[in-house]
Structure 1
Amino acid sequence: MKNRGKSDLKLAWVLLFPSVFLVLLLVAYPMISNIKISFFDLPINPRLDATFVGLKNYTDILTDVEFIKSLGITVLYMILAVAGSTALGLAVAIFFNRPFKFRKAARSLIILSYVTPSISLVFAWKYMFNNGYGVINHLGVDVFHLFDKAPLWFDNPVSSFILVVLFAIWRYFPYAFISFLAILQTVDSSLYEAAEIDGASTWEKFKNVTIPAIMPVLITIITLRSIWLFYMFTDVYLLTNKVNIIGIYLYETAFAFNDLGKAASISVILFIILSIVIIASRKRVKFNGNG
């Protein structure tokens, strides 16, 4: 039995080795290398020596007003986009959690914004809001006369921020929709019938039956979407240059100002922030699961 146990252990290590090696190569090594770089002033030219600066990169970043401002914009963007996409996804999932004609076709149309490549969606939005020939300005100026002249939507920081938030809500609500619809279809309909017999209103049925049933999925969706949007870069960068979220700030620090040490320290700080959020959310999910 002992020999068999040892042979099984060896076989397990042999089978696990490729996965463990890839994790170490693609995750652990870059992470350790990034932490190391954050303590150096690293020149772009590989022939020049890096200068050890200790915690200077971290202190410079944490005292940089632009970093704090960028972090605040990112948090606000993340909160609004996550709240909007989650609420919209839940509302649409509740509406679709019943039989009606052409339901399958309607579901396919809803998830189009999620499966379509971002580059196509971004340029479609930029086309719609173009001040010269965009359909939004045509409707606002020529049809409904809401504006005296076509607004420069993506040239104004406030309107740009509103549009990138709306884009994120529309782009990512299908993920919440799919997740909520899957969990809603597992809820026993007799619970709603019992609540209705007790005289519960629509809001009371939603609060006492629907919310407890979807709570683990809700927390998971909020956590994952918050992580993804916290690191958002592509959508905002392609839409406008007026919304300096943390992903763009990090990109410019590394590749516009060629300050790789500060860029590495930014990524480490963000990793610490997200680690705290993930640990807290995991405890919350476990608490709700046990409850």
Structure 2
Amino acid sequence: MQIKTRERSDSKLAWTLLLPSIFLLLLLVAYPMVSNVQISFFDQPVNARLSATLVGLENYKDILTDVEFFKSLGITILYTVLAVGGSTAVGLAVALFFNRPFKFRKTARSLIILSYVTPSISLVFAWKYMFNNGYGIVNFLGGDVLHLFDKAPLWFDNPVSSFILVVLFAIWRYFPYAFISFLAILQTVDNTLYEAAEIDGASLWDKFKIVTLPAIMPVLLTVVTLRSIWLFYMFTDVYLLTNKVNILGIYLYQTAFAFNDLGKASSISVILFMILFIAIMIARKRVNLNGNG
């Protein structure tokens, strides 16, 4: 009886402590999501004093028949795949290199994460300065020093070069997240496993495939999943760098605030959520089927 009373008391205390967090989640996450889905079925005016008009699935129909939406979707998928793959690969390679003692290792680690903790506007300004056609260091080295081109290219005014640069920017800026995650898990791997594999005649690739990859697989899945979510909804970096790469974040922003069509913008966000949710569920299922999740 005393044990049951204590358990009931602990349960009440737990709920009391959790209620503020639950309230905040409902207020800041659940309510905006439900409200967004609701708005997607209306022709919602920007002026809050005007009443909204119920249009049903008309917003979804307009989006799914808009060629520009599918162009933006294709660009966004390609951007996400390249940026996530590149930042994950670079982060893993740097983590493998740093997973050993050497002089000034702590200082080097601190320098590596600078691009991740620095505000976006500062990094974007630096990149636009480097690729400026008049006084940028890239055009100076490529044209005046190495003579790779006669006329300085307008890097951020060309759709192809702009896309390449925003992908490189994403890889450079976000690989420290993968680096920190992989380095943390690599330091937990028992060195005797590598020694045993080396005694058996395993090459560097064999040791990576047999020992390292299974150990980092849970972290690898988490890094790829989270980074895919963040980059699929990317807006700030690309918007500040160029107006030539129309990813979905920019397409949504223009729909909502340039054309003042909040209902259609809400339907875009719902569609994006469904696409991303399905893709992540399929990826996790495949990993689990392979026995690596």
The verdict on a shared fold, with TM-score over 0.5 as the criterion, is yes
Q: Calculate the aligned-residue CA RMSD, in Å.
A: 1.6
Query: How far apart are the structure 2 equivalents of 1:181 and 1:12?
Result: 35
1:214-248 deviation per Cα after TM superposition (whole angstroms, max 9, x unaligned): 11111111001000000110000000000000000
**Correspondence for 1:173 among 151, 172, 175:** 175
Query: How far apart are the structure 1 equivalents of 2:48 and 2:183?
Result: 52
Alpha-carbon shift at residue 288 of structure 1 (Å) = 6.8
Alpha-carbon shift at residue 277 of structure 1 (Å) = 2.9
Question: 1:24 is paired with a residue of what secondary structure?
Answer: helix
Write the letter of the residue equivalent to 1:212. Answer: P
Asked whether the equivalents of residues 86 and 173 of structure 1 are also in contact (C-alpha less than 8 Å), the reply is yes
Alpha-carbon shift at residue 4 of structure 1 (Å) = 4.6
TM-score when normalising by structure 2: 0.95
Task: Name 2:252's counterpart in structure 1.
Answer: 250
Work out the number of aligned pairs and report it: 291
Asked whether the equivalents of residues 143 and 149 of structure 2 are also in contact (C-alpha less than 8 Å), the reply is yes
Write the letter of the residue equivalent to 1:179. Answer: S
Asked whether the equivalents of residues 41 and 263 of structure 2 are also in contact (C-alpha less than 8 Å), the reply is yes
Write the letter of the residue equivalent to 2:214. Answer: P
Write the letter of the residue equivalent to 1:133. Answer: Y
Asked whether the equivalents of residues 218 and 292 of structure 2 are also in contact (C-alpha less than 8 Å), the reply is no
Query: How far apart are the structure 2 equivalents of 1:120 and 1:73?
Result: 25
Task: Name 2:163's counterpart in structure 1.
Answer: 161
Query: How far apart are the structure 2 equivalents of 1:242 and 1:229?
Result: 17
Question: 1:133 is paired with a residue of what secondary structure?
Answer: coil
Alpha-carbon shift at residue 13 of structure 1 (Å) = 2.7
Task: Name 2:77's counterpart in structure 1.
Answer: 75
Task: Name 1:89's counterpart in structure 2.
Answer: 91
Aligned in 2, Cα 1:178/1:4: closer, same or farther, shift over 3 Å?
closer
**Correspondence for 2:120 among 118, 121, 144:** 118
Alpha-carbon shift at residue 212 of structure 1 (Å) = 1.1
TM-score when normalising by structure 1: 0.95
Query: How far apart are the structure 2 equivalents of 1:46 and 1:211?
Result: 53
Task: Name 1:106's counterpart in structure 2.
Answer: 108
Segments of 5+ residues of structure 2 without an aligned counterpart are none
Query: How far apart are the structure 2 equivalents of 1:258 and 1:174?
Result: 37
Task: Name 1:30's counterpart in structure 2.
Answer: 32
Write the letter of the residue equivalent to 1:231. Answer: Y
**Correspondence for 1:55 among 29, 54, 57:** 57
Question: 2:161 is paired with a residue of what secondary structure?
Answer: helix
Query: How far apart are the structure 1 equivalents of 2:50 and 2:121?
Result: 38
Write the letter of the residue equivalent to 2:201. Answer: G
Query: How far apart are the structure 2 equivalents of 1:172 and 1:289?
Result: 28
Asked whether the equivalents of residues 214 and 292 of structure 2 are also in contact (C-alpha less than 8 Å), the reply is no
Segments of 5+ residues of structure 1 without an aligned counterpart are none
Alpha-carbon shift at residue 7 of structure 1 (Å) = 3.9
Task: Name 1:205's counterpart in structure 2.
Answer: 207
Aligned in 2, Cα 1:134/1:14: closer, same or farther, shift over 3 Å?
same
Task: Name 2:147's counterpart in structure 1.
Answer: 145
Asked whether the equivalents of residues 216 and 288 of structure 1 are also in contact (C-alpha less than 8 Å), the reply is no
Q: Using the TM superposition, name which of 7-16 and 40-49 deviates more.
A: 7-16
Alpha-carbon shift at residue 165 of structure 1 (Å) = 0.2
**Correspondence for 2:241 among 239, 242, 246:** 239
Aligned in 2, Cα 1:191/1:264: closer, same or farther, shift over 3 Å?
same
Question: 1:17 is paired with a residue of what secondary structure?
Answer: helix
1:45-104 deviation per Cα after TM superposition (whole angstroms, max 9, x unaligned): 222221111001001101111000101100000000011011111111111111111111
